[in-house]
Amino acid sequence: MQSACPRSEPLHVAIIMDGNGRWGLSQGLTRSHGHNAGADAVRRTVEAAPELGVTTLSLFAFASSNWARPTAEVSALMDLFRSYLTTDGPRLIESGARLSMIGRRDRLPPDLARAVTDLEAETRLNDRLNLRIALDYSSREAIMFAATRLGPAATLAELERLIVGDAGIGPVDLLIRTGGEQRLSDFMLWECAFAELWFTRRMWPDFDASDLSEAIADFQRRDRRFGGLVAA
Ligand code: IPE
Ligand code: IPE
Ligand code: MG
């Protein structure tokens, strides 16, 4: 395995954190155990990311399509998000991470939405890592919202600004999906237009800094052309 070497340019990594439920069952436990173990993988990843040169980390935590799951699983996930913010809030503030949430807030439990807003305010001056958590997030809906709001005369730049939802956040450079599936599941479709994709069979609760390092090292060997030609 080759490790990543940090560079000075911005690096936006997005992760579809998949495989929690299967991991829980594979341990002879419940899907919820898998989600709880997934929170530890989030902690490891957030801690390792800046050291590996990641400047923006976007994590897919709950898709709008996930409301279709059984109520008990959805409630357990909302409880987990709430306890993550409470437990990890102080550490995020300390570590220099600036938290922002992408996705709809109006369908989240109100106290969870408030906890997110509070932590966004408390971390807004931090600049070591942009940590973006996608909750009740649908990329198609974000694109539709921006297009409807701006109308037919919108420029690409205006659309991009509204879809991405945060000034200064660039497109995704590297998209990682754990859990063995190779699909985007409505995550950051616009932002991933030129992203490098990296899939692993590793289930999210087993993901650690060495996996992130391996993905970034692989990314650094890719030849990104953006429609142009390879540099001589
Ligand atoms: C991803 O893990 C976490 C969420 C979708 C909230 P899954 O819950 O999708 O786990 P699998 O894919 O069923 O194993
Ligand atoms: C995508 O995983 C959503 C998150 C990781 C939060 P899913 O498990 O919901 O995706 P599908 O249903 O397998 O495409
Ligand atoms: Mg899944």
Express each pLDDT in 105-135 by its tens digit. 999 999 999 999 999 999 999 999 999 999 9
pLDDT of residue 166: 82
88 among known catalytic residues: no
Give the whole-angstrom CA distance, residue 80 versus residue 206: 18
pLDDT tens digits along 54-67: 999 999 999 999 99
Q: Is 46 in the pocket of ligand 2 (CB under 6 A)?
A: no
Q: Give the three-state DSSP class for 193.
A: coil
pLDDT of residue 230: 79
pLDDT of residue 67: 98
**49 pLDDT more than 90:** yes
pLDDT of residue 7: 58
C-beta of residue 148 within 8 angstroms of C-beta of residue 171: no
pLDDT tens digits along 205-214: 999 999 999 9
66 among known catalytic residues: yes
**Confidence band (pLDDT; 50, 70, 90) for 3?**
low
CATH fold for domain 15-144+170-221: Undecaprenyl pyrophosphate synthetase (3.40.1180)
Lowest mean pLDDT among 16-30, 142-156, 158-172: 158-172
**8 pLDDT more than 80:** no
Residue nearest to atom 8 of ligand 1 (CA): 21
Domain boundaries, the chain: 15-144+170-221
Among the bound ligands, name the one nearest to the CA of residue 73.
1
- The angle at the Cα of 136, spanning 132 to 140, to the nearest 5 degrees, equals 90
pLDDT of residue 165: 83
pTM of the model: 0.96
Give the whole-angstrom CA distance, residue 177 versus residue 83: 24
